[in-house]
Amino acid sequence: MPQRVFALPRQQSLLLPAVHNPFVHDVKLTKADKIKCALLGALLVPVRSVCLLLILLLMWPIAAIATFLHPLKGAISPMAGWRRFLCQAVMARLGRLFFFFLGFRVVVKGQRVRSVDAPILAVAPHSSYFDAIVCIVAGLPSTVSRTENMATPLFGRFLRCLQPVLVSRLDPDSRKNTILEIESRATSGGRWPQVLIFPEGTCTNRSCLITFKQGAFIPGVPVQPVLLRYPNKLDTVTWTWQGPKAKTLLFLTLCQLYTNVEIEFLPPQIPSEEEKACPCLFANAVRSAMAKALAVPVTDHTFEDCRLMITAGELTLPMEAGLVEFTKISRKLNLKWDNVKKELEGFAAIANSCKGGRIGIEEFARFLKLPVSPPLQELFSLFDRNGDGTIDFREYVIGVTVLCHPANTEETIRMAFQLFDTDDDQYITQEEFSSLLRSSLGVADLDVSKLFNEIDTDRSGHISYEEFQAFAQSHPEHAKLFTTYLELQCYQALQNDGPECILSTSRISSDGAQEDSTSDKKDD
């Protein structure tokens, strides 16, 4: 028989990210590094610790005086007079002294513009709690912070000096109120200090710029990009989801003779009318300008990828298995986070037996309770988008969404049921089920009892349409496999010029093919 042409050819949409995992950092200490840290640490850590403690003890009463009886919520106004002097002059200088005793050597490039010229500072890449140094260099602008941080001993009082825009996890209207407050300050005509925002929203290893959240760009006012670089031979500052803990990085940083940091203020980005109307365009334009200046790629990873990464770890998969560039996946395939998490759990059910958390054809067949056969290999190859012989979670969620869910329509499931129900009595017996699968898979002695029993939930010895439909909808991989059999039958009928099968095959595959080909036309 001539080789069958797939109704849904492999597409090149949803390309792999330029950086596979921006949330991992591994500090590799050579023997020489360890000896250097031990020798310098024995001298520097005690001295620096005492100096830092003295600075903090000096800063706290000044911060307490500057913020005494000054409200954080309600009808607040920007600090003025002696309060502003204590915060923006005295506290800023003490902050510089604090980072000096931490061992930071700061190089500032470019010029920070006034609040009236660029009300918002967008800082990236965000990779460490040491990034707070940019607040000191920028003259203590306002920031966006969680309400819980205000209760932190010592540092909560310092944070109050910045008059932050507060975000509360307990308030369902918090996101809307935060955006309104940012917009109010950004359009105050310079009355408020600049608002400093890390638009990535989470820490990365600085290998790329991930998706920018839109909060800084919704007001539609000029934004000044600020770049952060740590040009050090040994990276002891990067604090990501996978890597050394905060205390370990602090200790290693204190053991260094000095730590270089570069802060560069780029020219303000002024939004066009189109970008004012669409904050996403403005955010992408600013990110592109910053990525070009940093000479790094951009990816569509977000905080949701971190959540999926943690979930993958909880499912005993490699943590990086959950990284799918959530923004791109959700935008192109119209998926919610909960849907992707559910697919991750399904993927884990297959992949946990595989080394490295990738699915091979043998594991795929075992999960479907079917032998390896040409139709099964054809389905597997549609999932395996890069052709390496395995399926990772990214390929799995794309395959299930683009290939399998369109096969779950009432029409195609009904057609598949009728194909199995050879005597048209509205039930599929095990003999009918195995007979069709034997001919479709080309396997003479095929044991399908396990698969049949899984579909036959009431153990009646036959499968009703309701059972078949429920199984197809909850097991989308099988749904696509059943419709693949339909395509095979239609292909054989086409050899005899059966025009009705052309229509059937077209209906079966049109949703998935059109969706995937449309994806190709969109920008990645």
- Containing H/E element for 383? helix 374-383
Write out pLDDT tens, residues 129-152. 999 999 999 989 999 888 888 878
CA 316, CA 252: separation in Å to the nearest integer?
30
Q: What is the structure's pLDDT at 507?
A: 42
What's the chain's Rg over C-alpha atoms? 29
Burial (CB count <10 Å: 0-12, 13-18, 19+), residue 200: buried
Is the separation of the CB atoms in 368 and 350 below 8 Å? no
C-alpha dihedral sign at 69, 70, 75, 77: positive
What mean pLDDT do residues 161-182 have? 83
What mean pLDDT do residues 476-501 have? 57
pLDDT band for 501, please (50, 70, 90 cuts). very low
Nearest to 512 by CA among 412, 404, 377, 414: 404
Q: What are phi and psi of 317, to 5 degrees?
A: -95, 160
- As beta bridge partners, residue 165 has 144
Q: What is the structure's pLDDT at 111?
A: 95
Cβ count near 90 (within 10 Å): 17
Q: What are phi and psi of 206, to 5 degrees?
A: 70, 10
Q: What is the structure's pLDDT at 521?
A: 39
| Least confident stretch, 25-39, 280-294, 380-394, 499-513 | 499-513
Write out pLDDT tens, residues 40-85. 999 999 999 999 999 999 999 999 998 888 777 655 788 888 988 8
Summary mean pLDDT of the chain: 83
Question: β-pairing, 104-110 with 427-429?
Answer: unpaired
Q: What is the structure's pLDDT at 522?
A: 40
- As beta bridge partners, residue 167 has 146
pLDDT band for 4, please (50, 70, 90 cuts). very low
Question: β-pairing, 142-146 with 104-110?
Answer: unpaired
Strand order in the sheet with 259-265: 104-110, 259-265, 223-229, 120-124, 195-197, 142-146, 165-167
Token pair recorded at residue 468: 């078949």
Q: What is the structure's pLDDT at 493?
A: 55
Residues 6+ apart with CB under 8 A from 360: 354, 389, 390, 391
* Peptide bond just before 406 cis, omega within 30 deg: no
What mean pLDDT do residues 428-444 have? 74
pLDDT band for 442, please (50, 70, 90 cuts). low
Highest mean pLDDT among 118-127, 154-163, 399-408, 467-476: 118-127
Q: What is the structure's pLDDT at 291?
A: 97
Q: What is the structure's pLDDT at 479?
A: 67
What mean pLDDT do residues 416-423 have? 81
CA 425, CA 481: separation in Å to the nearest integer?
23
What mean pLDDT do residues 439-444 have? 62
Q: What is the structure's pLDDT at 233?
A: 92
When comparing pLDDT for 9 and 168, which is higher? 168
Q: Is the pLDDT of residue 500 over 50?
A: no
Q: Give the DSSP letter of residue 6.
A: P
Written in H, E and C, the secondary structure of 266-306 is CCCECCCHHHHHCHHHHHHHHHHHHHHHHCCCECCCCHHHH
CA 257, CA 44: separation in Å to the nearest integer?
8
pLDDT band for 435, please (50, 70, 90 cuts). confident
Burial (CB count <10 Å: 0-12, 13-18, 19+), residue 174: middle
When comparing pLDDT for 521 and 221, which is higher? 221
Is the separation of the CB atoms in 106 and 237 below 8 Å? no
| Least confident stretch, 207-216, 473-482, 496-505 | 496-505
When comparing pLDDT for 261 and 514, which is higher? 261
Question: β-pairing, 223-229 with 259-265?
Answer: antiparallel
> How long is the chain?
524
Write out pLDDT tens, residues 254-307. 999 999 999 999 999 999 999 999 999 999 999 999 999 999 999 999 999 998
Q: Is the pLDDT of residue 492 over 50?
A: yes
When comparing pLDDT for 472 and 256, which is higher? 256
Region at 316 (left for phi over 0; alpha for psi -120 to 50; beta for the rest): left
Q: Is the pLDDT of residue 9 over 50?
A: no
What mean pLDDT do residues 172-184 have? 85
Burial (CB count <10 Å: 0-12, 13-18, 19+), residue 445: exposed
Q: Is the pLDDT of residue 332 over 90?
A: no
Report the percentage of the chain scoring pLDDT > 70: 84
What mean pLDDT do residues 342-368 have? 82
Q: What is the structure's pLDDT at 490?
A: 55
